[in-house]
Amino acid sequence: MTKPKNEETLAPTDEEFDEREIKDYERYKTLSDIIDSSFGTPSRKNSGYSVKMKIVGDAIMQVAYTSVGNFIGVSPNAVKGKFHKEGLEAIKNALDVVKEDYLDATDKEISFKIDSEKEDIELLQGSYGNPKRTCIYRLTCMVKMK
């Protein structure tokens, strides 16, 4: 997420300095309450995967998808596309739920746009001679809020 610098000084622009500053506290507080899935709060339970959200600035949210997957006889990279598609779908569904909850809580609309993605696949220890492999797939997206 590179932004243009001031041409004369190459110093960060005012927009870069303000990106993580919370300007709308009410929106921040409402969104924080909606995405909170810590113990004792009503969290959304999904079997097989987890979607966690964290507000990292006034207009940026980090959304992390984690899934445990199994596959037989292929490399982890061969199934990465399938996991990526499932992860993006789960993230988009979770963001849709947040949109609805935010609208119900404030009578204001909010929109989200995925700005960047980072994915990782971790192979777990398998037993010798067993063709079944298990992995943990992680997809982290930086999402812009409007």
Residue 45 has a pLDDT of 56
Residue 57 corresponds to which tokens in the numbers above? 């600035």
- Interatomic CA distance for residues 54 and 20, integer angstroms: 13
pTM of the model: 0.75
Give the count of alpha carbons within 13 A of 98, CB side only: 28
Q: In terms of Cα–Cα distance, which of 60, 55, 64 is closest to 33?
A: 55
Contact of 104 with 143, CB cutoff 8 Å = no
Residue 9 has a pLDDT of 45
Residue 105 has a pLDDT of 92
Residue 69 has a pLDDT of 87
Per-residue pLDDT tens digits of the chain, which is 146 residues long? 444 444 444 444 555 555 567 787 788 888 888 887 654 444 455 567 889 999 998 899 999 999 998 888 788 788 889 999 999 999 999 999 999 999 999 999 999 999 999 999 998 877 777 888 889 999 999 999 99
